[in-house]
């Protein structure tokens, strides 16, 4: 059942697609530089979800930067909180604070912590204790419905945390409550902190499981902005069920020393040439 016919949806122009692809690379650049400056962090996990975050923040999210606690704002929960640098990068690019402030990542006097916390006014809850973000997103979606607020809740999960039981308890409740104002994404990049994840790149397993729990599911190439936009639109138009996007990605996408590489999670970039290239970058759509 859909809220409106997808036949009436206008196609996304090539210029919009290019601008989102450019933004994804800007988010990668910021994540690389800020974690290199900090001397720690998870750039490879930021790189895998750059197109996902760029698409949500700069094509779908309705958000008042001057009033981050406005209850009518759409909400974004970064359940895979170790990818905080890409969240801070998106907020900076959106105008929440100067881009230069990203270089204070993980400093004791900075609200830009290694995982999102409400020290930042643009963060509703602390995440990074994996497996809890979807539960919080479900609570937000229920609260919006009770309050009669027409907003959308977005949750970005990692594939590793999908092994947590709390994720499936939240999935069951979201289906039971018919939370069609909730859209979640699994960044299925195959690799965890120390080993491959349970299902690796077998995205069909995630599709089957969430469909069994009563969700509408779309499987996409998580680095293809056009596919992401189509999936977000399609799921938002369906009523009666929450929506899940299973995005197949590569950890460290675009990083010369980390793309699809084992043992890179939780380690800052080590390619000095790439870091220098990022410092000298102009923000265009070239790969890092």
Note down the domain range covering 111.
Answer: 14-279
**Pairwise CA distance, residues 25 & 281, whole Å:** 10
What pLDDT does 42 receive? 82
CB atoms closer than 10 angstroms to residue 218: 20
What torsion, rounded to 10 degrees, do the Cα atoms 31, 13, 216, 81 define?
10
CB atoms closer than 10 angstroms to residue 13: 9
In a domain, 8, yes or no: no
Task: Please determine, for residue 266, whether its predicted confidence score (pLDDT) is greater than 60.
Answer: no
- CATH code for position 70: 3.40.50.970
Q: What's the order of all strands across the beta sheet hosting 216-221?
A: 75-78, 153-158, 182-188, 243-248, 216-221
What pLDDT does 199 receive? 75
- Across the range 98-121, mean pLDDT stands at 97
What pLDDT does 2 receive? 43
In a domain, 150, yes or no: yes
In a domain, 284, yes or no: no
What pLDDT does 210 receive? 97
In a domain, 5, yes or no: no
Percent of the chain with pLDDT over 70: 84
**Pairwise CA distance, residues 24 & 157, whole Å:** 18
* pLDDT tens digit sequence for 29-68: 999 999 999 998 889 999 999 999 999 999 999 999 999 9
Task: Please determine, for residue 77, whether its predicted confidence score (pLDDT) is greater than 70.
Answer: yes
Per the structure, the count of domains in the chain is 1
* pLDDT tens digit sequence for 181-239: 999 999 999 876 667 778 778 899 999 999 999 999 999 999 999 999 999 999 999 99
Task: Please determine, for residue 119, whether its predicted confidence score (pLDDT) is greater than 70.
Answer: yes
Poorest-pLDDT segment among 13-22, 191-200, 212-221, 254-263: 254-263
Say if residues 89 and 60 touch (Cβ distance below 8 Å): no
| Alpha-carbon distance values, 159 to 94, 121, 156 (Å) | 27, 27, 10
pTM score: 0.88
Q: Which two tokens stand for residue 268?
A: 């800052």
Percent of the chain with pLDDT over 90: 76
Task: Please determine, for residue 113, whether its predicted confidence score (pLDDT) is greater than 60.
Answer: yes
**Pairwise CA distance, residues 90 & 72, whole Å:** 20
What pLDDT does 252 receive? 85
In a domain, 245, yes or no: yes
**Pairwise CA distance, residues 81 & 210, whole Å:** 22
In a domain, 166, yes or no: yes
User: Phi and psi for 272 in degrees, rounded to 5?
Assistant: -65, -35
Q: Which two tokens stand for residue 205?
A: 């397993």
What pLDDT does 273 receive? 46
Say if residues 48 and 222 touch (Cβ distance below 8 Å): yes
In a domain, 143, yes or no: yes
- Across the range 103-113, mean pLDDT stands at 97
Q: Which two tokens stand for residue 136?
A: 């919080």
Task: Please determine, for residue 10, whether its predicted confidence score (pLDDT) is greater than 80.
Answer: no
In a domain, 213, yes or no: yes
């Amino acid at each position: 059942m859909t809220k409106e016919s997808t036949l009436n949806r206008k196609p996304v122009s090539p210029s919009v697609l290019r601008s989102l692809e450019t933004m994804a690379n800007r988010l990668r650049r910021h994540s690389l530089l800020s974690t290199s400056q900090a001397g720690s962090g998870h750039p490879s996990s930021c790189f895998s979800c750059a197109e996902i975050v760029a698409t949500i923040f700069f094509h779908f999210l309705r958000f008042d930067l001057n009033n981050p606690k406005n209850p009518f704002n759409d909400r974004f929960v970064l359940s895979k909180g170790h990818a905080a640098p890409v969240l801070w990068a998106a907020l900076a690019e959106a105008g929440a604070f100067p881009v230069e402030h990203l270089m204070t990542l993980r400093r004791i006097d900075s609200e830009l912590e290694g995982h999102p916390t409400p020290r930042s006014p643009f963060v509703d809850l602390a995440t990074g204790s994996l497996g809890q973000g979807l539960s919080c997103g479900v609570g937000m979606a229920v609260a919006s419905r009770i309050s009669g607020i027409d907003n959308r809740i977005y949750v970005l999960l990692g594939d590793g945390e999908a092994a947590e039981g709390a994720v499936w308890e939240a999935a069951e409740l979201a289906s039971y409550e018919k939370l069609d104002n909730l859209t979640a994404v699994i960044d299925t990049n195959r690799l965890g902190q120390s080993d491959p994840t349970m299902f690796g790149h077998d995205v069909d397993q995630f599709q089957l499981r969430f469909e069994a729990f009563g969700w509408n599911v779309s499987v996409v190439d998580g680095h293809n902005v056009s596919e992401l936009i189509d999936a977000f639109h399609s799921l938002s138009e369906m009523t009666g069920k929450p929506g899940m996007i299973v995005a197949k990605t590569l950890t460290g996408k675009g990083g010369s020393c980390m793309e699809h590489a084992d043992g890179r999670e939780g380690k800052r970039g080590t390619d000095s040439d790439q870091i220098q290239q990022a410092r000298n970058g102009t923000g265009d759509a070239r790969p890092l």
